[in-house]
Amino acid sequence: MIVIDAHLDLAWNALSWNRDLTLTVPEVRASEAGMKERNRGTNTVAFPEMRKGEVAVCLATVLARASGLGEALLDYRSREIASAMAQGQLAYYRIMESEGRLRMLKDWPSLEAHFRNWKTCGGGSEPNGEPLGFILSMEGADPILSPSQAAQWWNDGLRVVGMAHYGASAYAHGTGASGGVTRKGRELLKVMEEIGMVLDMTHLSDESFWQAAKLFRGPVLASHNNCRSLVPGNRQFTDDQIKCLIERDSVIGAACDDWMLHPGWTQETSRSVVGLEAVVDHIDHVCQLAGNARHSAIGSDLDGGYGTEQSPRDLDTIVDLQKLTALLRARSYQQADIEAVMHGNWLRFFQRAWTNCRFASRPG
């Protein structure tokens, strides 16, 4: 079944981890053999496996922070440096697009045509089939140096923005931080709404979440977020937050990070305790709150700073997202609802978001 995955840090893996994503996953793992850093040699994502796993579309990120947390491969000493790094990641996507490996999707007609071509032309089954489609997103808005610069990023193809990642950004507070949307954040939300950018609520602190939900009247999604009632912690959404998103006709992508799937998970926790069933638990919880299957989807976050050691035991590569179909079927989900979770809900979301977008047909 065709998959739309709402969160993959492809360019970050390529530039910061120096991974050649044109190789297969086993080839990337072999290239990292003997490296001492955590997560080396355990990756799960590469272009060949995305094709094999029918991941026809993803939200592919640019990711560079100036949070002050000092985390290697993520944090930079100034927002200017972070912005330059994000532009480098954008350049990577452009190079991959020029080589026919990726295709940037900027509006509903391009997404609709790409998805249709993938279905009819055997995109995943043919080595020289359709390119992998991607919608450009930004995880943490520090690379946008001023609210007015959002228009420039729009022209570069950016369509989805999360205001913060971990810690504080110039615009809001994220995971592990306390605080709301800043003055500049209010300005950014206004500009995003005017332009037609989608707001990603993932990673926002509770206070920032509720303020952003009140301030921003454009389309909102949650690219990769699980449920706090199943796994405590401020990285997950409360039921009230999920209901807020459902009321906004949003879609929430379930993530595959064991830390977000098992209460009290630590790096010492045995991988055997978490399976893809736990991902389905979060998908199902959103569906139960909504009373339907229109608001739950996939946002795997695979290789988001971790690999197989922090992924469900029955997931070796991104191909294994296909196992979710049988797990959903075993819980009496009907075929139409399974298709909605695997790709249909994201298609519906972007059709609505981009059809109603003030600049939906604007070049760039």
Q: Average pLDDT for residues 329-353, to the nearest whole number?
A: 98
Helix residue ranges, H only, the chain: 10-16, 25-31, 47-52, 79-98, 108-121, 150-155, 183-195, 206-215, 239-247, 276-290, 323-330, 335-339, 345-355
**60: closest CA among 18, 95, 22, 89?**
89
pLDDT over 90, % of the chain = 92
Check residue 123 and give its pLDDT: 62
pLDDT greater than 90 at residue 38 = no
- Report pLDDT digits (tens) over 216-272: 999 999 999 999 999 999 999 999 999 999 999 999 999 999 999 999 999 889 889
Q: Average pLDDT for residues 67-84, to the nearest whole number?
A: 96
Check residue 267 and give its pLDDT: 87
C-alpha count within 13 angstroms, C-beta hemisphere, residue 67: 25
Question: Positive or negative, the Cα torsion across 177, 183, 64, 356?
Answer: positive
pLDDT bracket for residue 358 (50, 70, 90) = low
pLDDT greater than 90 at residue 42 = yes
What pTM does this model have? 0.96
**Phi and psi angles of residue 305, each rounded to the nearest 5 degrees, phi first:** 95, 10
The Cα–Cα gap between 307 and 52 comes to: 19
CB neighbours (10 Å) of residue 351? 13
Least confident range of 54-68, 112-126, 317-331:
112-126
Sequence length of the chain is 364
**4: closest CA among 358, 284, 351?**
351
pLDDT bracket for residue 37 (50, 70, 90) = confident
pLDDT greater than 90 at residue 121 = no
Check residue 21 and give its pLDDT: 98
Least confident range of 23-27, 175-179, 205-209, 267-271:
267-271
The domain locations on the chain are 3-355
Q: What is the average pLDDT score of the chain?
A: 95
What is the residue whose two structure tokens read 């796994």? 231
Check residue 363 and give its pLDDT: 40
Assess contact for 18 and 70: CB atoms under 8 A.
no
pLDDT greater than 50 at residue 360 = no
- Under CATH, what is the fold of the domain 3-355? TIM Barrel (3.20.20)
Q: CA-based angle 28:70:210, to the nearest 5? A: 100
pLDDT greater than 90 at residue 127 = no
- β-bridge partners, 59: 135
The Cα–Cα gap between 268 and 341 comes to: 32
Any residues with CB less than 8 A from the CB of 194 and at least 6 apart, and which?
358
Assess contact for 203 and 237: CB atoms under 8 A.
no
